Chain A
């Protein structure tokens, strides 16, 4: 079968990271090609290059036998490449049909003068398209009334309406419920039967197994290999995906653990009616780093938020040093000995418009000596922030008076870590503490975490990066679909085994 699109020796670097390193792929007309890889393996970068959002530093794209340069998404669309992004790009107040024709509206002139957009024929055409593919979409419905699954189908129709032949899906099942996933996979098969070529970015092996013909596996920007899905076992794919060289990383030196600090039993969390943490039980001891491994979106964020008191649990209990904290407020938990470095550092971890000295004191500003009779003691803030800036090597132009927004991401994260570690809480929760940071900042934060471990604090770490878990964790729990399916000492778990639990191959 002929190759509809080939990429040859594509390299794309961002500051501090090579997202795509000399990748070559050949995709055949009419196949479903899955692109597998962990978070940050470079899948999305590669597809954004195909869709014209990024320009590669080196390498060529060959479309239907001709070398092309794709300069923009519009250009990609004109060459019949379409993409469904993970986060949909739809206008809420427009009808489905209006969204689909946006940018290529059929323009008519009433009485030959007044321009208008003729929606009647559009509605009919879209209804027809939708029926042919079993998409079941009402063109006149408003997007704001449509659920996630329908919105995704609108995105699919948007590509098809523009006569796309190569359809790129970026983690299309991430936001869908199980029956919606089954429906989507059926649609993908229909599209393939209609002769479309599909590139599917995913990290869910079960979907790859079910519909893909071939799969390319990326790891840290490199193409590990291209495999025929039918003849490759899911556990092999999982192993290729996480990569073998990770085993070289040394786990932390053994140390004796103290008493149980955090004890979670049968905890469940439901958000918008969907159960995202499902009957989870584990405990973390003093001096232990307990790490949750898993692919993004399997309930990690909700798990951490529930422990910190940001969202309510729907069942089970949380004990902190023997005290029941299941229904305690955020401040009660902090005061009982909890620190929380959240995943979303800009959204909730910092007030970006505050000066650094206020951000560093966010956990303490309301008590003495920072605040006496409701009034701040400015000199205390100054001394406190100067101390933390020195101890944690936070780089900032004007010391404590630097506006936090102007600092680099690494230094912002150091500020959060400094603030939370300074509390000397019995339990410290770190979620994705080094995401997006360069190597220097990552090492610094790892060192701080290990120092807290040695000092006898219980550390609860959530990370999507296996190598981070490898170097930090004493005990690993693997989460998949809201459940922790395996908990074991880090030394007893091979990376392959973690990969299999992470991908849901083993449950």
Chain B
């Protein structure tokens, strides 16, 4: 009991918990990572610094010709865009009481459809780019909606159906890429035309060459819009009500079935946009036979962001910075790239503990009041 009281005094009330617990999780994971790095004989501060430098947050000591800090940060933002959308997809599903673990599959499906429908066409940018976004959102919504229908009509657990769909989508699309769209040199799908690409290439910012990830603004806008949607609109309220208490929703006359379908469709649409941002933005091709890890990392990002769309932006930024900074860190310190994944893993582990901590505290709180 004493320990709990102490924790309470550190962490504070409901409002403060939202900030303190994720920060605590990050802090703990950094400490443990530092210990890990020390045990390998590396300086943890150099490691963290080189991660930040690799992601373009800090300056590197020297750059290749035509490259600068801005080059790296723009690349990080390009990677951040799909991560935010994918995390928003997780958040929306979670708020509706659903666990969308099929985001990677939905991303691949939308990325593939947008690639073959728009990516290989000769349409000018101002037609192609909106079309890519629309195709992406619709394709993702179709897969998400299917999972939602299976759940609400036939009570098929969404986790099972989305994992199965992940595999089906991955292998079917792999088949089509390898038989029809393969690039004979890279063994990936052929690169899309630059006019359809969502991240503008080869921009000169001052003396430096960089990409221009304009849709990061759309991602941030989407997070704000979803925050508003969940908190301030009737549909968002219905969705959260169903997510928190299906029985109460029925008592109030809110249809759990409709809202489950809606939440999954919405989540799928966001995952679809994440898909085109990844496969037709950050990348310009699709590697066959694999799923992007973004869809899975997004689950953890959403949790770290407290299932709050705004918090998601920061959590996604943190995780993206770490994964983007890895290559540089491993070359500076001469350690394996995987160490960065260990750090990411630790952050996620501790943020999961944060949820446990919060529950523990709310339960003791109830008893004392």
A binds B: yes
Let me know if A374 and B253 touch, CB within 8 A.
Answer: no
Residues of A within 8 A of B233 (CB): 374-376
Let me know if A365 and B237 touch, CB within 8 A.
Answer: yes
Residues of B within 8 A of A308 (CB): 251
Query: Chain B nearest CB: distance from A314 CB in Å?
Result: 19
The number of inter-chain residue pairs (CB within 8 angstroms) is 61
- Is A153 interfacial (CB-CB < 8 Å)? no
Complex interface bits, A316-354 against B, C-beta within 8 A gives 1, otherwise 0: 000000000000011100100000101010011111111
Closest chain B residue, CB of each to CB of A331: B253
Residues of A within 8 A of B250 (CB): 310, 330, 348
Residues of B within 8 A of A375 (CB): 232-234
Partner of A376 from the list B234, B248, B362, B366 (CB cut-off 8 Å) is B234
- Is A378 interfacial (CB-CB < 8 Å)? yes
A344 to B247, CA, bound (A): 10
Let me know if B237 and A347 touch, CB within 8 A.
Answer: no
Partner of B251 from the list A310, A365, A366 (CB cut-off 8 Å) is A310
Complex interface bits, B55-95 against A, C-beta within 8 A gives 1, otherwise 0: 00000000000000000000000000000000000000000
| CB contact list, B312-369 vs A, under 8 A | 362, 365-366, 369
Let me know if B248 and A405 touch, CB within 8 A.
Answer: no
Closest chain A residue, CB of each to CB of B369: A406
- Is B252 interfacial (CB-CB < 8 Å)? yes
Please tell me the number of chain A residues within 8 Å of chain B, measured between CB atoms: 32
A347 to B244, CA, bound (A): 11
- Is B245 interfacial (CB-CB < 8 Å)? yes
Let me know if B251 and A405 touch, CB within 8 A.
Answer: no
Residues of B within 8 A of A310 (CB): 250-251
A329 to B362, CA, bound (A): 36
A10 to B247, CA, bound (A): 40
Let me know if B248 and A348 touch, CB within 8 A.
Answer: yes
Closest chain B residue, CB of each to CB of A378: B232
- Is B306 interfacial (CB-CB < 8 Å)? no
- Is A119 interfacial (CB-CB < 8 Å)? no
Let me know if B247 and A330 touch, CB within 8 A.
Answer: no
- Is A226 interfacial (CB-CB < 8 Å)? no
| CB contact list, B249-265 vs A, under 8 A | 250-253
Closest chain A residue, CB of each to CB of B231: A376
Query: Chain A nearest CB: distance from B260 CB in Å?
Result: 17
Residues of A within 8 A of B237 (CB): 358, 365-366, 376
Query: Chain A nearest CB: distance from B274 CB in Å?
Result: 26
Let me know if B232 and A330 touch, CB within 8 A.
Answer: no
Let me know if B234 and A406 touch, CB within 8 A.
Answer: no
Complex interface bits, B192-225 against A, C-beta within 8 A gives 1, otherwise 0: 0000000000000000000000000000000000
Closest chain A residue, CB of each to CB of B14: A403
Let me know if B251 and A340 touch, CB within 8 A.
Answer: yes
- Is A371 interfacial (CB-CB < 8 Å)? yes
A163 to B369, CA, bound (A): 43
- Is A363 interfacial (CB-CB < 8 Å)? yes
Known interface pairs A374-B234, A376-B234; A406-B366 also in contact (CB < 8 Å): yes
- Is A246 interfacial (CB-CB < 8 Å)? no
Partner of A329 from the list B14, B234, B251, B253 (CB cut-off 8 Å) is B253
A350 to B249, CA, bound (A): 9
A347 to B246, CA, bound (A): 9
Query: Chain B nearest CB: distance from A362 CB in Å?
Result: 6
Known interface pairs A330-B252, A376-B237, A405-B366; A347-B232 also in contact (CB < 8 Å): no
Let me know if A353 and B247 touch, CB within 8 A.
Answer: no
A378 to B233, CA, bound (A): 10
Closest chain A residue, CB of each to CB of B363: A405
- Is B7 interfacial (CB-CB < 8 Å)? no
Let me know if B232 and A376 touch, CB within 8 A.
Answer: yes
Residues of A within 8 A of B238 (CB): 366
Let me know if A349 and B251 touch, CB within 8 A.
Answer: yes
Partner of B248 from the list A329, A350, A363, A366 (CB cut-off 8 Å) is A350
Residues of A within 8 A of B252 (CB): 330, 362-363
Closest chain B residue, CB of each to CB of A353: B244
Partner of A334 from the list B14, B234, B253, B362 (CB cut-off 8 Å) is B253
Query: Chain A nearest CB: distance from B367 CB in Å?
Result: 11
Residues of B within 8 A of A351 (CB): 241, 244-245, 248
- Is B32 interfacial (CB-CB < 8 Å)? no
Query: Chain A nearest CB: distance from B307 CB in Å?
Result: 12
Residues of B within 8 A of A362 (CB): 252
A175 to B63, CA, bound (A): 76
- Is B116 interfacial (CB-CB < 8 Å)? no
Query: Chain B nearest CB: distance from A412 CB in Å?
Result: 12
Residues of B within 8 A of A352 (CB): 244-245
- Is B35 interfacial (CB-CB < 8 Å)? no
Residues of A within 8 A of B245 (CB): 347-348, 351-352
- Is B235 interfacial (CB-CB < 8 Å)? yes
Query: Chain A nearest CB: distance from B19 CB in Å?
Result: 17
A358 to B248, CA, bound (A): 13
Give 5 nearest A-B pairs by CB, closest first. Answer: A330-B253, A331-B253, A348-B251, A348-B247, A348-B248
29 pairs, A vs B, C-beta closer than 8 Å: A308-B251, A309-B253, A330-B251, A330-B252, A331-B253, A347-B247, A347-B248, A348-B247, A348-B251, A349-B248, A349-B251, A350-B248, A351-B245, A352-B245, A353-B244, A354-B241, A358-B237, A363-B252, A365-B234, A366-B238, A371-B234, A374-B234, A375-B232, A375-B233, A375-B234, A376-B237, A403-B14, A406-B366, A408-B369
Tell me the B residues contacting A by CB distance below 8 Å.
14, 232-235, 237-238, 241, 244-245, 247-248, 250-253, 362, 365-366, 369
Q: A350-B248, A352-B245, A405-B362 are in contact. List 20 more A-B contacts (CB 8 A).
A: A308-B251, A310-B250, A330-B250, A330-B251, A330-B252, A330-B253, A348-B245, A351-B248, A354-B241, A354-B244, A366-B234, A366-B237, A371-B234, A374-B235, A375-B232, A376-B233, A376-B234, A405-B366, A406-B366, A408-B369
